[in-house]
Structure 1
Amino acid sequence: MDSESFLRERLIDVGVDLVKSEGSASLGLREIARRAGVSHGAPRRYFPTHHALLSSIAQRGFQELGSKCAAAVAGAPSPRAQLRAVAGAYIGYALECHGMFELMFRHDLLDSERHASGERRLRESSLPQFERIVALVARCRAEQEAAPDSSTPPAVTAAALWANLHGIAHLWARGSIQLALGDEPSADATADQRLDRLIATALDAHLGPVAA
C-alpha cells in the first residue's frame, strides 16, 4: 500500500474508532485529522467533502454488519432460521455499535448524489443488506403453504419486517421496550432471551407462525 492509500485508510480507521467510542456527533474533520496525526486540511486531499469521509466510515459498518449476518446464517438449517439469525445479528450490531449504526442510516449519506464525487455511494453498500432480507422472505414464503398477505410482494414484507427490527433495536437501546414491558434484571429471562422473543414475534407477525 502506498503512502497516499495508507493515509486515506488511516483517516477511515480513526473515524471508525471515533464513532464507535464517542458516537456519530464526534466525527468532525478536525478531530479525525488530529487523532490521525495530520494537519486539519489533510483529509480534503483524499475526501472532497466531509460527507465523502463519513460515507467511507459508514461503509465499514456495512461491511462489518454483512460479515456478522453471513456468519450468523452459516449454521441455520432453513430460510426461517436464517432470517431469524440475520435479525439477531442486525439488532446485536445495532446495540453493540450504536454510533456506527446511527451513521450508517443517515439519509443524507444514503441518498447523496452531490457528495459522491467518484466515491462508491453508501446506498450501494446498504441495499445488499436489504436484498438479503427480501430473498429470505421470498424463500420463507415458498416453503409455507399459506403465508399471511401472500399477495404482498416480498420486498414490501421485507421492508415492514426491517422497519420492525430497526424499531426494536432503537427502542431497546434507549430502554423504552424494557420500561413498557416492565422487564427487570430479576425477570425469568435474560436480555438476550427477551430480545429473541421479540424477534420471533416480529417474524410471526410478518410471515405467520411456524407450522407445528
Structure 2
Amino acid sequence: MHESDTGLRARLVQVGVDLVTAEGAQALSLREIARRAGVSHGAPRRHFPTHLSLLSAIARRGFTDLGDRATKALGTGGASPRGDLETLGRVYLDFALTNTGMYELMFRHDMLRSDELGLRETSLPLFGVLVDLVGRARPEADARLVAGSLWANLHGIAQLWSWGSLQLATGADDFGPLLATALDAHLGPDRR
C-alpha cells in the first residue's frame, strides 16, 4: 500500500516533533528524520524543498501547542489582565522549560526572519494576546512595546533558568518570584 503525499508529509513532521522532543533541535537532520520515518533520505525533499522548510513545519507544531496551552489556561476567564498575564507567563515559561528542544527550534532566528516559512502567522497571534492583555493592564502605555519588553524578559528568564544561571544567581528554586518581579517591572506593582 502506498502512503499518500499528505500522510507522508504529516509523518515526517511528526517524526521531527518526536525527535526534537527526545533529543533536541540539534538532532533534526533530514537524513535522521527520513531514517526514523522509514523512507529514503531524499523523500523529505519531495515535500519540503529545504531543510529549513521542514524545520519550520515542525516549529509550527510547537507554536500551535503553546497557543493551545495558553488558550486553555486563559479560557477560564474572570481574572484581571494582570492575573491573565501571570497565567500566560507561567504557561510560556513552563513550555520553554519542559520542551527545551522545541522551544529552541521555535525561536531560531533564521526561521523567524523568513516570511516564506509561515511561522509569523503561528507566532504572532500569541504575541497579539500578550499585547491585548498588556493594553488592558496599562492603557496609558504603548502596549506593543511593553509586551515586547515583557516577552524579552520572559524569554531571558526561560533561557537563563534552563542554563541554571538564575538559580545560582538568585537562590530561587522556582521561577515564580522572577515572573512576579518581571510583571512588576513592566506593569508596575501589583495593587491587589
TM-score (norm 1): 0.85
Partner of 2:118: helix, strand, or coil?
Answer: coil
- In 2, the alpha carbon distance for the partners of 1:111 and 1:181 equals 34
**Residue 164 (structure 1) aligned to one of 127, 150, 153:** 153
Please give the per-residue CA displacement for 1:155-206, whole angstroms capped at 9, x wherever unaligned: 00001000000000101111100101234xxxxxxx4xx3111111110110
Which secondary structure state, in structure 1, belongs to the residue aligned with residue 39 of structure 2?
coil
Q: What amino acid does structure 1 have at the position aligned with 2:24?
A: G
After the TM superposition, which segments of 4 or more aligned residues of structure 1 sit over 4 Å from their partners?
none
Measured against aligned partners, the alpha-carbon deviations of 1:91-119 in whole angstroms (never above 9, x if no partner) come to 00000000100000111111114xx3xxx
Tell me, in whole angstroms, the C-alpha distance in 1 between the residues paired with 2:136 and 2:171.
Answer: 36
Pairs within 5 Å for 1:126-141: 126-141=123-138
**Within 5 A, what are the aligned runs for 1:60-79?**
60-76=61-77, 77-79=79-81
What SS does the corresponding residue of 2:40 show, helix, strand or coil?
coil
Runs (5+) with no aligned partner, structure 1: 143-149, 184-190
Answer yes or no: is 1:91 the counterpart of 2:106. no
- Match among 154, 162, 171 for residue 143 of structure 2: 154
Q: 168, 178, 181: which is aligned to 1:201?
A: 181
CA root-mean-square deviation: 1.3
How many residue pairs end up in the alignment? 189
Cα distance in 1 for residues equivalent to 2:27 and 2:102 = 11
% same residue: 56
Identify unmatched segments of 5+ residues in structure 2: none
Bigger Rg, structure 1 or 2 = 1
TM-superposed deviation, 1:79: 1.2
CA deviations 1:10-32 (Å, max 9, x no partner) are: 00000000011111111000000
Q: Distance in 2 between matches of 1:75 and 1:167?
A: 28
Q: Normalising by the residue count of structure 2, what TM-score does the alignment of the two structures yield?
A: 0.94
- Structure 1 residue 49 corresponds to structure 2 residue 64: no
